[in-house]
């Protein structure tokens, strides 16, 4: 697509979201990326949290981590460029070992993925022998390799229910686990730090064992935020991601994965919507649905997702960086957990 055409395409969607001076600059970058993408036989996957100019210009597929994992599994291109964070790019590599998987920014991590190690999972298995381990997809490959099955926020309930087990270990997101426990009617216990290290009070009635990882974005939303917004906009419909605390989810009108939130907004006619998730998603919804009155709390941003820029994506294709590798023995074990997750979608 000639540069001017890219600019016009982006302007049609983004004229009320991105100022013209920035649109012209970013359309130039997007055009260069798309030329290189074709030359190198690459596919670009873009998470729903990408900034609007990137989200609406270069990805071949956009969506949540479950959808993007499915697209990564299906692609026949030689290179997968993942505009998301490292655990997502690793999942693409787990599913597609013969492809080159590139992550445009080396530091695009995740507080949830950092919260647990493979050794932590092995210790939990020793503490709770025979109890199946469900791991949120927001973890690194070596943690997935220690798990029975992965899940995303979109299919976590289905995964938990599919196991038909009296007790499960659900890692590492404390809040997602709490929300799943509430939805499935299970009781959950979490570790506390005692004299001998991490301790679990197994004298309680419990069917789930959790961990204390949190998303550094979603943990910041509070019930006080919700009350304040409802006071100012009494007719607002509030949507929260299940990585928010159970109290925030309970005080919201709807909770679901990023894809479920987008669908909800598209299919509803509220006078105002407030999304409790990474702010860029609100911009992306407005771009595609300019008539939707969206409120956002943009002081809460994901520093990892925001590492991914058009400039770095161009460099990624030019310099073949940053290549994601997963050691083969780890990949083979992680693959089983990821494939099970995809099958339960
Ligand atoms: S939004 Fe939260 S869960 Fe998603 S990448 Fe950022 S820190 Fe991780």
Q: How far is the CA of 243 from the centre of ligand 1 (A)?
A: 9
Residue 50 near ligand 1, beta carbon < 6 Å: no
Interhelix angle 3-14/280-288, rounded to 10 degrees, is 100
Sign for the pseudo-dihedral over CA of 133, 137, 141, 142: negative
Beta bridge partners of 294: 273
Instruction: Specify the length of the chain in residues.
Output: 345
Question: What is the predicted pLDDT for the residue at 3?
Answer: 59
The three-state DSSP-derived secondary structure of 34-49 is HHHHHHCCEEEEEECC
Q: How far is the CA of 90 from the centre of ligand 1 (A)?
A: 15
Residue 248 near ligand 1, beta carbon < 6 Å: no
Cα 333–153–90 angle (5° rounding)? 35
Q: Model confidence over 143-175: pLDDT tens digits?
A: 999 999 999 998 999 999 999 999 999 999 999
Residue 226 near ligand 1, beta carbon < 6 Å: no
Residue 278 near ligand 1, beta carbon < 6 Å: yes
The preferred substitution site among 137, 138, 245 for testing ligand 1, maximizing ligand atoms within 8 Å of CB, is 138
Q: How far is the CA of 112 from the centre of ligand 1 (A)?
A: 7
Q: How far is the CA of 196 from the centre of ligand 1 (A)?
A: 31
Question: What is the predicted pLDDT for the residue at 16?
Answer: 86
The residue nearest atom 8 of ligand 1, judged by CA position, is: 110
Q: Model confidence over 254-290: pLDDT tens digits?
A: 999 999 999 999 999 999 999 999 999 999 998 988 8
Question: What is the predicted pLDDT for the residue at 340?
Answer: 95
Residue 85 near ligand 1, beta carbon < 6 Å: yes
The residue nearest atom 3 of ligand 1, judged by CA position, is: 215
Residue with tokens 């460029």: 81
Q: Among 328, 283, 289, 308, which Cα is nearest to 44's?
A: 308
Pairing, β 197-199 against β 192-194? antiparallel
Q: How far is the CA of 216 from the centre of ligand 1 (A)?
A: 7
The preferred substitution site among 110, 171, 242 for testing ligand 1, maximizing ligand atoms within 8 Å of CB, is 110
Atom of ligand 1 nearest to the CA of 302: 6
Residue 111 near ligand 1, beta carbon < 6 Å: yes
The preferred substitution site among 304, 306, 307, 308 for testing ligand 1, maximizing ligand atoms within 8 Å of CB, is 304
Atom of ligand 1 nearest to the CA of 303: 6
Residue 114 near ligand 1, beta carbon < 6 Å: no
Q: How far is the CA of 75 from the centre of ligand 1 (A)?
A: 25
Q: How far is the CA of 4 from the centre of ligand 1 (A)?
A: 35
Q: What structural domains does the chain harbor? A: 3-108+305-319 (3.40.50.10800), 112-214 (3.40.50.10800), 218-296 (3.40.50.10800)
Atom of ligand 1 nearest to the CA of 217: 2
Provide block-wise average pLDDT over 10 residues at a time, the chain (345 residues): 83 91 96 97 97 96 91 95 97 95 96 98 97 98 98 94 95 98 96 91 97 97 97 97 98 96 94 95 90 89 96 98 98 97 87
Neighbours of 221 (CB within 10 A): 25
Residue 274 near ligand 1, beta carbon < 6 Å: no
């Amino acid at each position: 697509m000639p540069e001017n055409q890219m600019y016009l395409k982006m302007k049609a969607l983004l004229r009320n979201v991105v100022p013209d001076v920035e649109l012209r600059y970013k359309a130039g970058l997007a055009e260069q990326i798309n030329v290189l993408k074709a030359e190198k036989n690459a596919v670009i996957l873009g998470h729903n949290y990408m900034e609007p100019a990137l989200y609406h210009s270069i990805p071949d597929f956009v969506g949540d981590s479950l959808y993007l994992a499915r697209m990564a599994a299906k692609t026949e291109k030689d290179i997968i460029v993942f505009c998301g964070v490292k655990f997502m790019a690793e999942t693409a590599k787990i599913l597609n070992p013969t492809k080159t998987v590139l992550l445009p920014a080396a530091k695009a991590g995740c507080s949830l993925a950092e919260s647990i190690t493979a050794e932590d999972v092995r210790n939990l298995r020793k503490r709770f022998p025979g109890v199946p381990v469900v791991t949120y997809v927001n973890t690194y490959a070596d943690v997935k390799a220690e798990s029975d099955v992965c899940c995303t926020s979109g299919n976590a309930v289905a995964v938990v229910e599919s196991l038909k087990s009296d007790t499960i270990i659900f890692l590492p997101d404390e809040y997602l686990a709490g929300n799943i426990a509430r939805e499935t009617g299970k009781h959950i216990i979490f570790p506390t730090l005692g004299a001998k290290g991490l301790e679990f009070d197994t004298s309680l009635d419990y069917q789930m064992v959790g961990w204390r990882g949190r998303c550094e974005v979603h943990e910041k939303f509070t019930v006080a935020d919700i009350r304040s917004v409802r006071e100012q906009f009494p007719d607002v419909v509030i949507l929260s991601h299940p990585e928010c605390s159970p109290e925030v989810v309970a005080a919201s009108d709807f909770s679901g994965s990023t894809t479920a939130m987008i669908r909800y907004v598209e299919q509803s006619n509220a006078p105002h919507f407030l999304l409790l998730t990474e702010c860029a998603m609100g911009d992306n919804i407005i771009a595609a649905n300019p008539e939707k009155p969206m409120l956002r709390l943009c002081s809460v941003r994901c520093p990892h997702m925001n590492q991914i820029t058009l400039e770095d994506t161009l460099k990624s294709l030019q310099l073949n960086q940053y290549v994601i590798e997963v050691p083969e023995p780890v990949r083979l074990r992680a693959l089983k957990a990821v494939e099970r997750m995809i099958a339960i979608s």
